[in-house]
Amino acid sequence: MAAVSALIAALPLRQRFNPSDLFLAVDSLTQTYTLCLTFAALFSQASLAINSVAGPHVDLTLASRSVAPTVVVVSAETASKLHAETAERSSGGLAKIGHWIQSRALEAGVMPVETWFTRISGPKSSAIGTPPGKLRLIFVAEKIGIDTPALTSNHLSDLRIFTGARPIYALTAAKVAGAVAQTLMFDYRIDEDKQSHFGLPLSSVEVKLVDKGSAKTTDDSAKGEVSNINGI
């Protein structure tokens, strides 16, 4: 229950799950992060869509074809697949201009809105789910210890533009209920061509850092590697 409460509290008050939401899990419910988010949606009285298509490398457009979700949770592989396919379809000159305009808005700290120009130049957010649904949140799970594609801050920025929703990138582990850490919803910063940071650990998690081998932290330098993570 602490992990569920922490996931809810990690969202800004106006962006939390509510009874008007339709929650769709496109990742397996055997993943603790996906399961805790599902419980959080149920606790918030959101509607829940159950889909037989779940797991890594899922086509999100196909998985959401018959529903109109406002919140989805996907694996990092699915998010990477969505980004790659949408970027390939948006490689034309007009689409690049629309992408540049929307990227400038994000750099200014403003979520871009759909205009007549972006409607004709870029991908539509309604490609995920059926009208009149309006996707607003995409939870992306990056699992520790699995060779998954790392999402960069550029990828997250592109997903905001491509879907019209705000992605939340979470670091997850089998021993942790919920997430170890996850990005802030309104953090639009871009660190070119580097993996996106995950932000602070959630309040339901305790991370123990210990020296190991040559990885030792002193007052003058910090060196380390992930050894073990325990969730509370």
pLDDT at position 24 is 92
Q: How far is CA 222 from CA 100, 144, 211, in A?
A: 38, 21, 10
pLDDT at position 231 is 37
pLDDT at position 228 is 47
The one-character DSSP state at 31 is S
| 155-184: b (≥16 Cβ within 10 Å) or e | bbbbbbbbbbbbbbbbbbbeebbbbbbbbb
How many Å separate Cα 188 from the centre of its chain? 13
pLDDT at position 230 is 40
Mean pLDDT per segment of 10 residues, for the chain of length 232 residues?
A: 79 89 90 91 91 81 86 90 79 70 76 67 60 82 80 87 88 86 86 76 79 76 57 36
pLDDT at position 213 is 74
pLDDT at position 168 is 92
pLDDT at position 21 is 92
Q: Kindly report whether the peptide bond that precedes residue 12 is cis, defined as omega within 30 degrees of 0.
A: no
Q: Where are the beta strands (DSSP E) in the chain?
A: 22-25, 47-49, 71-75, 137-143, 166-172, 181-182, 205-206, 230-231
Distance CA 109, CA 16 (A): 20
In CATH terms, the fold of domain 2-204 is Rossmann fold (3.40.50)
- For the chain, count helices (H), then strands (E): 7, 8
Burial of 10 (0-12, 13-18, 19+ CB in 10 A): buried
pLDDT at position 139 is 94
pLDDT at position 47 is 93
pLDDT at position 122 is 56
pLDDT at position 65 is 83
**Helix pair angle (32-43, 2-9), 10° resolution:** 70
Distance CA 218, CA 203 (A): 26
